[in-house]
């Protein structure tokens, strides 16, 4: 797999409705160095760069990569329905394989882990749900089945997606 564009477009995909939606797409640079040069090294947000690197790695591995959207409905104390949309950073598809992946630069607290897991917990199918963090950590699986791995393990151990 090689990139033919400097900028790649990831289309938003309604996970529950199983359809593409016409809202703003997300864009990723096929070369992070080119991104930095175009932006004159002004925007050095490590979390955005990490997300871009994960996107590129998934594309190199042959996945079709979309941005997921999952809606969750709750009822407030007055009985009014509240609709909340969560974004899933990546819906990576290859044949019959699908992975839902969140890029979380750091998860220093339980609250941050709950925030990063919220979109994944609202997906009702059995495909693997993964959070990738910047730090080196021992891969772990929580009681909801969400796997958390470090960025270096993700990049260097492709089979870890199936752990």
Quickly count: other Cβ atoms within 10 Å of residue 16's Cβ.
Answer: 14
- pTM for this prediction: 0.85
**pLDDT one-digit tens code per residue, 95-144:** 999 999 999 999 988 888 999 999 999 999 999 999 999 999 999 999 99
Residue 138 resides in a domain:
yes
More confident residue, 45 or 102: 102
Mean pLDDT score, 50-71: 95
Q: What is the CATH number of the domain that holds 116?
A: 3.40.1350
pLDDT band, very low/low/confident/very high, at 71 (cuts 50, 70, 90) = confident
Give one DSSP letter per residue of 137-152, joined into a string: ---EE-TT--EEEEHH
Residue 38 resides in a domain:
yes
Residue 153 resides in a domain:
yes
Per the structure, the complete domain to which residue 40 belongs is given by 7-162
- Tell the burial category of 140 from Cβ atoms under 10 Å away from its Cβ (0-12, 13-18, 19+): exposed
Q: How many domains does the chain have?
A: 1
Residue 91 resides in a domain:
yes
Name 20's bridge partners: 13
Judge whether 114 and 104 are in contact, CB under 8 Å: no
Report d(CA 124, CA 136) in Å as an integer: 29
Residue 70 resides in a domain:
yes
Residue 2 resides in a domain:
no
Residue 15 resides in a domain:
yes
pLDDT value at 3 more than 60: no
Quickly count: other Cβ atoms within 10 Å of residue 89's Cβ.
Answer: 22
């Amino acid at each position: 797999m090689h990139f033919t564009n400097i900028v790649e477009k990831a289309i938003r995909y309604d996970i529950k409705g199983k359809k593409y939606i016409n809202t703003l797409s997300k864009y990723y640079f096929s070369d992070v160095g080119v991104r930095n040069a175009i932006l004159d090294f002004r925007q050095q947000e490590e979390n955005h760069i990490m997300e871009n690197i994960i996107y590129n790695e998934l594309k190199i591995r042959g996945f079709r990569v979309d941005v997921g959207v999952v809606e969750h409905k709750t009822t407030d104390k007055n009985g009014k329905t509240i609709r909340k949309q969560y974004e899933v950073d990546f819906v990576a598809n290859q044949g019959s394989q699908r992975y839902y992946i969140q890029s979380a630069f750091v998860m220093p607290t339980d609250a941050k882990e709950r925030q990063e897991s919220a979109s994944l917990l609202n997906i009702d199918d059995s495909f693997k749900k993964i959070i990738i963090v910047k730090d080196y950590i021992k891969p772990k699986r929580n009681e909801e089945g969400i796997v958390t791995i470090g960025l270096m393990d993700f990049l260097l151990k492709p089979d870890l997606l199936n752990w």
